[in-house]
């Protein structure tokens, strides 16, 4: 058993607020540790710090060799075996051993890596990660591109491993995989013994307790403000009595100015005491609700259209080298439809979207047409680079609307001036999604929109779709999201 130790760790990117301030942590290398938190909180940064890729203050002690997923591949056009061998040193049998444990077809090794589906690419890279049995694995977002069955397979596979840190926004996957959870919340870092559900329950209880305390303090402060105001008015009126006319006409009464002054002074002191107490209450309130997450509704720029059918597919079948990907499929996308394309990894869901865009270079049978429409495209992989302003200009997007949606998605203002390629994968995904949202469109064609998005953003996007009611054709593996937003499901099945 070894321990990864962080002592007084502090880090921030140039010109940005600190991500970590005086952090002390001890992490056992036998743990199956889930690393959770909203996009931009520093999850990937923490993994880079463990790998000594960034400058920091404090101490980071890592007594074991580390491996990291996803590994960079220099030439994805190579056969998968050769592309992976260029990224890491291993024997072919070691890779085949790990692929077999995940139930992968070994023939994938002899296909170009870039021709594999997103899910197949993820699984062969995970197999590559564990060819080194002596290393501690850092795994960043392995559930992207994986269908439900593949997520279960990968979860079972990881449970057999000795120890790792994994970043994921899939609650079921984290529950099935992890025995400890490290949460990067808004104002604190917390370590829990247990899976994501243990953390979520504790977080919900803490939020509820803070909200109840906040309401109590609000009432106390309101009562103190009212009492202080009453005492201030009384004190002011007594001061006027003290220094005003001493005789009240017609009554013969004479005020005791000494008595009035002493009493007014006591009241004024009570008011000051109340104000000090109010200040203490307000100071206590400032520490509440710091870790409660809030999200705002997104704006989707939908355009109406008079066409009765937006997409017409009649016995469409795609393939490579005369090998069909799926059985012929037929469907129509009509105004108001939100159609989910579903099927196992590698069956050709993304290829069908590429064919709709005219970008598929394999064999194509059947009819796949759409009228002249304005389409919002969202690809699996982000290719954007440069500044947000230049990106908006290039794609003819409303820059202020783009920034508005990015702010609602939780991208901090400091990142607005950061080149897109220097943002985290989750932040880059938000840029691509925000661009798709602000694109004026009759039809949204989105490929795995939830990839890299945290759980709050996933719910935020689903709520906004239900509110705006765009016409959509989309691919997604999150069944809960499909159940919420899809009006129809088209299933791709293996060819006969």
Q: What is the pLDDT of residues 394-445, one digit of tens each?
A: 999 999 999 999 999 988 888 898 899 888 788 899 999 999 999 999 999 9
Least confident of 53-57, 246-250, 259-263: 246-250
pTM of the entire predicted model:
0.71
Cβ atoms 373, 405 nearer than 8 A: no
Write down the pLDDT at residue 159.
Answer: 93
The Cα 276–Cα 273 span in angstroms is 5
On the question of pLDDT at 164 being above 90, the answer is yes
The Cα 23–Cα 10 span in angstroms is 7
Write down the pLDDT at residue 14.
Answer: 82
List Cα–Cα distances, 213 to 223, 283, 291, 407, in angstroms.
15, 13, 14, 29
Fold assignment, 3-197: Rossmann fold (3.40.50)
Token pair of 50, please? 């463990």
Instruction: Return the closest-CA partner of residue 42 out of 54, 31, 33.
Output: 54
**How would you classify residue 42: left for phi > 0, otherwise alpha for psi between -120 and 50, otherwise beta?**
left
User: Which of the two residues, 204 and 60, has the higher pLDDT score?
Assistant: 60
Token pair of 254, please? 């004479």
Backbone angles phi, psi at 473, to 5 degrees: -130, 115
Length of the chain: 496
Query: How buried is residue 341: exposed, middle or buried, by Cβ count under 10 Å (0-12/13-18/19+)?
Result: buried
Query: What are 446's strand-pairing partners?
Result: 378, 474
Query: Is 311-491 a CATH 3.40.50.300 domain?
Result: yes
The confidence band for 176, taking pLDDT boundaries of 50, 70 and 90, is: very high
Query: What are 329's strand-pairing partners?
Result: 316
Write down the pLDDT at residue 336.
Answer: 94
Q: What is the CA radius of gyration of the chain?
A: 30
Residue 178, helix vs strand vs coil = coil
């Amino acid at each position: 058993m070894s321990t990864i130790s962080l002592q007084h760790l502090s880090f921030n990117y140039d010109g940005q607020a600190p991500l970590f301030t005086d952090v002390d942590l001890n992490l056992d290398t036998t743990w199956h540790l889930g690393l959770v938190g909203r996009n931009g909180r520093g999850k990937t940064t923490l993994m880079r710090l463990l790998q000594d890729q960034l400058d920091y203050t404090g101490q980071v002690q890592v007594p074991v060799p580390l491996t990291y997923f996803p590994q960079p591949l220099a030439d994805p056009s190579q056969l998968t075996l050769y592309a992976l061998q260029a990224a890491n040193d291993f024997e072919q049998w070691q890779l085949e051993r790990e692929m077999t444990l995940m139930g992968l077809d070994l023939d994938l090794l002899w296909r170009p890596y870039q021709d594999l589906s997103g899910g197949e690419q993820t699984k062969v890279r995970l197999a590559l990660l564990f060819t080194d049995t002596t290393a501690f694995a850092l795994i960043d977002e392995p559930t992207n591109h994986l269908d439900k069955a593949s997520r279960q397979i990968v979860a079972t596979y990881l449970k057999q491993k000795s120890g790792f840190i994994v970043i994921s926004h899939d609650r079921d996957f984290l529950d099935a995989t992890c025995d400890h959870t490290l949460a990067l919340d808004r104002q604190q870092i917390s370590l829990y013994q247990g899976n994501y559900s243990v953390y979520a329950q504790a977080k919900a209880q803490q939020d509820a307790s803070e909200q109840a305390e906040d309401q109590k303090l609000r009432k106390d402060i309101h009562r103190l403000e009212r009492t202080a105001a009453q005492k201030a008015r009384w004190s002011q009126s007594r001061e006027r009595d003290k220094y005003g006319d001493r005789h009240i006409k017609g009554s013969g009464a004479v005020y005791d100015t000494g008595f009035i002054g002493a009493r007014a002074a006591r009241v004024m002191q009570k008011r000051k005491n109340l104000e000090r107490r109010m200040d203490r209450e307000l100071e206590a309130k400032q520490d509440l609700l710091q870790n409660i997450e809030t999200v705002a509704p997104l704006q989707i720029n939908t355009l109406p259209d008079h066409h009765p059918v937006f997409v017409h597919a009649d016995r469409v079948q795609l393939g490579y080298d005369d090998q069909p990907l799926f059985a012929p499929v037929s469907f129509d996308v009509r105004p108001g439809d939100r159609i989910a394309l579903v099927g196992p990894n590698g069956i050709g869901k993304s290829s069908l979207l590429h064919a709709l865009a005219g970008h598929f270079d394999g064999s194509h049978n059947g009819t796949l047409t759409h009228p002249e429409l304005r389409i919002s495209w969202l690809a699996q992989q982000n290719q954007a680079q440069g500044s947000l302003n230049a990106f908006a200009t290039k794609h003819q997007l409303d820059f202020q609307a783009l920034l508005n949606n990015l702010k609602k998605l939780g991208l901090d203002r400091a990142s607005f001036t950061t080149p897109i390629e220097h943002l985290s994968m989750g932040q880059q995904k938000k840029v691509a999604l925000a661009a798709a949202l602000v694109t004026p469109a009759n039809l949204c064609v989105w490929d795995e929109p939830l990839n890299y998005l945290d759980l709050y953003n996933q719910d935020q996007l689903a709520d906004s779709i239900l509110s705006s009611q765009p016409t959509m054709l989309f691919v997604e593996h999150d069944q809960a999201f499909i159940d919420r937003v899809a009006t129809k499901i088209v299933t791709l099945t293996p060819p006969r």
